[in-house]
Every structure is written in structure tokens, then in C-alpha cells.
Amino acid sequence: MTEKLEGPSYVLEARSFAIDPGQERLTELTAAMPNAKWTEFENLNVTTRVNSRSAKSTFIVTDSPEDFIGLATIDRAEYARIAEQQDAYIRDQDMVAINGYIGNDPEFRVPARLVIEARNANVAGSQDLLYFHDTAFEEPRVTVIYTPNLEAPGYPSDRLIAVDLENGVTRVLNSDYFGESKKGGLRMWNKIVFDRGGLGLHAGCKVIPTADGEKTFLIIGLSGTGKTTTTFTRQNDSKPVQDDFIALMPGGKVYGTENGCFAKTYALSPEYEPTIHAAVTSPGSYLENVSQKNGTLDFFDESFTANGRAVFSMEKLGWYKDAREAGRVESLLILNRNNNIIPAVARLPREAAAAYFMLGETMGTSAGGKDEVGKALRVPGTNPFFPMPHAFQGNRFFELLATAPMDIYLMNTGWIGGGDGDPNAKKVSIPISSAVVKAIADASITWERDPDFGYEVATTVPGIDDAEFLQPRALYERQGRADEYAGEVARLKGERTAFLGQFAGLKSEIIGAIT
């Protein structure tokens, strides 16, 4: 005997389905996993086989691959074979189904479902925390069908994430990393937002009180570059709204996505990140791949991975702002974790803002797997989950800025003058970045035009006494490295122009902004 679970484009049969069993039961199932351990904080820490997202194993399902230039694809016949194989496997499994919503605004929420093997209950428990459950569930618009213990021979690492945009279904085989569940739903949601005239941004959101009233900030950045930290660090008793994905609509309207956070834990410090640390070390949070010895967590040990993670609900923060209460966007920060001549902050005109958005420059972190760590990357929109040609998001971003005047800033969250360990380099620390954000909110920065890149660089920022963080040219000149600085300027301009030029259909105004 098997049980059935139906969706808009699928009928699944399994030995059993536990549908929305609740956190108490999900915790019990997680605790029974052989790779799960209780921590000293009365939450569970699971060590997984796969410890980062599997970009090389992710394929869009289509019979028109020419519509998805730059993205890996499989045809529908191959997808049907994979789906049949996965469905057959599920018939012999005990499964868990989690239903909920991406977003909580009645005008914009998207019904979503995760179906996963019960022996990987930590993924179900984590997803249950991130979904909203404040209304009766409708038929799912997006579904992730997840079999962590079924291999996909012939695909990279025998692993496959097959993305069927047409039917709103993502099928995941042979990964037990929670991020594939979270991103499976949000990748589909990106397409839905775009079709509604907006743009899904890989961004945090916060509201900062000022003398001129509350100001809504968006913080765009690749995973591991300081997006969550910048979102949760307090300025003027600011409140976080969202830490990972938001929808930006015409007029600067923002919609949220998740009822919790999926935070990196490496080097997590109660001194510099007290809010996140308190939430991660609360009962009911789920940890993944955090070093644990003799029952004690060590957030600074990266011997297994530096991509340790934790999932916690927004209520664990004790203070946050519902996305439905956030005003229109006033400021948008594009994080650029770099190690050369990028200042701690620069102010961008509209065309340059769209260009730097498309460049998505940063240093790779463990979130993208070992192949990306420490490498200079360019990821358009810093959004590796946008499931359509990247020119679409660049052009849409440019168009949205015309409907919603806002200040756009480039922020370096890495180093200036060299990489980590270089005696010539200076680290842009969390307090420095926080001072920048506060000064932006308070409109207390003085600016001047940079002669090389055309954007504005700061001359003074309250709380930052070292001007070399604001104008890297001064650092290079003091160190007798003016020629090196000039060489970096030429290199970046050439590489950036070439990079933007590869996106067919990208507006000429965006490409021309990098000169």
C-alpha cells in the first residue's frame, strides 16, 4: 500500500507521507538522524555529505536551450526520464511534505511545497521555519521534490538539480544540503516576480530610523560577502526585514519572502554579530556543518567547511520589521568583497549602478563550494539563482531605478590594497562598514568625484578616521605603488567592458557606464 500526494503537474506515491507534522515531530525525526547531534544550546547540528550549493549540477529544463544562454540545460525527454526514476524511488520511501508560503503579503505570496525523504528531516524542519503559515494553504505554485539519497549517474558528482520553470517544479537528487531546498523555491519565485514586472534581488532589507524618518535599505551581495551581517548590524536601532531575497517592484515597493534566516556561522562572534549569534544559539534553530567537539560548538573551526549554516525563525531575533510595513526603498547597497582598489563606499549614478549590479564583483566564499573560495568572481546581480538570461535582470534593474529614485552605493566588505595576510592591506571591518551605513542613513558623508571611475568617493565619514579606506589611491601612493594603482584601473575597465559586452540585449547605457 502506498499513499498519494498530488500537485499541479505531478502525482507522487510513497510508503507514507507526513504532511506538515509540526516542529516538535520534525525535531524528533532530526534527532534520530545518525549525523545529527544535540548542542549545548538545545538545538540540533547536522553534518551533511554536501556542504555547499551544487551550481555545476543545476540544469534548466527546456527544449529551447538558445533561450537560456549561459545556463546549463537538459531537454524535456531527459527530464521525464529523471522524474520517472525519482518517482519510482519515492514509492519505497517515507516522505515528509511541508506546505507554506514564500512571502506573507496577500497580494504577493506564493504557495510553495517541499517533499523530502523523512530520513533528512532537518531539511524539512528548516524549510518549515522559513515558510509563512499564516493562512490556509492553496495548491502549490512551486514545488521542490527532494531525494538526497538517490544518485543521478552521468551528472556532475552524480548529482542533479533539475529546474522545470514551466511547471514550477525543482527535482533534487543526491544532495543533502539544505540550501538546495531553500533556493529551489526561491529560484522559481524569481521567475514569478519578473513576470509580474518586478525583480527578485539576492538582498537583505532593513529599516533605519533617522531624524528624517525611517529609511528602507536594500543590501545586495553574494552569499558570504556580508549581506546578512550588514542587514543585522544595528545603526540607530535599525530593524532587519529580510536577510536573503526580496522583490523590488516599480515605485520602490518591496515584498519579503521568508519568515526566518539561513545564516553563515563561520567566525560568528557575539561581540560583532550579537543578534545573529543569539538566534543561532537558541533552542529550535537548526545548525548544519558547524564544528562540534565534545558537545561544544566552534564557529571558528573550518577544518570541515567554512560554510557552516544555521536556520532560525525571525521571532528568535526579538526585533524585526514585517516587510509589509517597510516603506519604499531609499538606499541600495551593492556589496563588493574585494582586495584591491575598491573603496569602503562609493556613490553611483543610475547607469553605473546598473553596470555594477550586472558586474556582481566579489571574492568567492565557501558558500559557492571549494571551486569558488578566494577567487575573483563576477556574478550578475550577485544572484546565482536567476533562472533566465542575465541581460533580463540588468535591463529590469535599470528600468526599476527610473520608477523609484534611490541612492545606490558600492561597498567593499573585503580588503583595500591587498588580500588577507598582505602587510600592505587594510581590512574593511564590520565596524567600518557599519559606520558607512549609518552615515548614509544620516546623510552625513561628504563626496567628491573619482577621476578614474566617475563615481563619487567619500572625503569624510563620521566614525572613520582613516581616509585611506575611503580613497584607496592615497594608500597606494603613500606606499609607493601609484603605478600598480594605475594598472589596476586599466585592468578593471578593460575586463568590465568585456564582461558586460557578452550579454546579448543588455542596454547600451549600462555597458557604456564603464569607461
How many residues would you count in the chain?
A: 515
At 366, is the pLDDT very low, low, confident or very high (cuts 50, 70, 90)? very low
Number of separate domains in the chain: 3
306 lies in the same domain as 389: no
275 lies in the same domain as 138: no
Out of 127, 142, 176, a domain closes at 176
Residue 463 C-alpha cell reads as 566614525
Q: Mean pLDDT across the chain, nearest whole number?
A: 94
445 lies in the same domain as 412: yes
Buried/exposed 10-44: b ≥16 CB within 10 Å, e otherwise = bebbbeebbebbeeeebbebbeebeebbebeeebb
CB atoms within 10 A of CB 503: 21
87 lies in the same domain as 8: yes
313 lies in the same domain as 338: no
Q: Is residue 204 part of a domain?
A: no
Q: Is residue 186 part of a domain?
A: no
pTM of the full structure: 0.92
CATH code assigned at 267: 2.170.8.10
Range of the domain at 274: 262-317
**CA nearest neighbour of 72 among 163, 143, 142:** 163
Q: Is residue 498 part of a domain?
A: yes
129 lies in the same domain as 270: no
Q: DSSP E strands: which ranges in 91-173?
A: 94-102, 110-117, 142-147, 160-164, 169-173
- Half-sphere exposure of residue 399, counting CA atoms within 13 Å on the CB side? 14
CB atoms within 10 A of CB 509: 14
CB atoms within 10 A of CB 298: 12
Question: Residue 416 CA to chain centroid, in angstroms?
Answer: 24
At 377, is the pLDDT very low, low, confident or very high (cuts 50, 70, 90)? confident
Buried/exposed 230-269: b ≥16 CB within 10 Å, e otherwise = bbbbbbeebbbbbbbbbbbbeebbbbbbbbbbbbbbbebe
For residue 373, the model assigns a pLDDT of 56
SS3 276: helix
- What's the angle, vertex CA 87, arms to CA 83 and CA 92, rounded to 5? 155
299 lies in the same domain as 367: no
Residue 338 C-alpha cell reads as 574585494
306 lies in the same domain as 348: no
341 lies in the same domain as 271: no
Q: pLDDT per residue over 454-502, tens digit each?
A: 899 999 999 999 999 999 999 999 999 999 999 999 999 999 999 999 9
Q: Is residue 222 part of a domain?
A: no
Residue 393 confidence (pLDDT) above 60 = yes
Can you tell me the distance from the alpha carbon of 3 to that of 199, in angstroms, rounded to the nearest whole number?
Answer: 38
Q: DSSP E strands: which ranges in 384-462?
A: 407-411, 415-416, 426-427, 446-449, 456-460
Q: Is residue 302 part of a domain?
A: yes
340 lies in the same domain as 282: no
DSSP 480-513: T-HHHHHHHHHHHHHHHHHHHHTSTT--HHHHTT
CATH code assigned at 129: 3.40.449.10
Pairing of strands 199-201, 58-61: unpaired
Out of 130, 153, 176, a domain closes at 176
User: Per-residue pLDDT averaged across 183-197, rounded?
Assistant: 96
142 lies in the same domain as 269: no
Share of the chain above pLDDT 90, in %: 85
Rounded to the nearest 5 percent, the helix, strand and coil shares of the chain are 30, 25, 40
Measured on CA atoms in the order 174, 175, 181, 184, is the torsion positive or negative? Answer: negative
At 134, is the pLDDT very low, low, confident or very high (cuts 50, 70, 90)? confident
- What's the angle, vertex CA 344, arms to CA 338 and CA 346, rounded to 5? 105
CB atoms within 10 A of CB 211: 8
Residue 370 confidence (pLDDT) above 80 = no
CATH code assigned at 346: 3.90.228.20
Residue 327 confidence (pLDDT) above 80 = yes
Q: How far is CA 196 from CA 101, 105, 241, 357, 389, in A?
A: 17, 15, 22, 21, 17
Q: DSSP E strands: which ranges in 286-381?
A: 286-288, 291-293, 296-298, 309-313, 329-335, 346-348, 361-363, 376-378
Contacts of 461 (CB under 8 A, 6+ apart): 344, 345, 435, 436, 439, 444, 445, 470
427 lies in the same domain as 488: yes
For residue 290, the model assigns a pLDDT of 95
Q: Is residue 477 part of a domain?
A: yes
Q: Is residue 199 part of a domain?
A: no
DSSP 180-238: HHHHHHHHHHHHHHHHTT-EEESEEEEEE--TT--EEEEEE--TTSSHHHHHHS-STT-
End-to-end CA distance of the chain: 67
Out of 176, 205, 230, a domain closes at 176
CB atoms within 10 A of CB 392: 17
At 371, is the pLDDT very low, low, confident or very high (cuts 50, 70, 90)? low
Residue 95 pairs in a beta bridge with: 17, 117
At 365, is the pLDDT very low, low, confident or very high (cuts 50, 70, 90)? low
Residue 36 confidence (pLDDT) above 90 = yes
Q: Is residue 232 part of a domain?
A: no
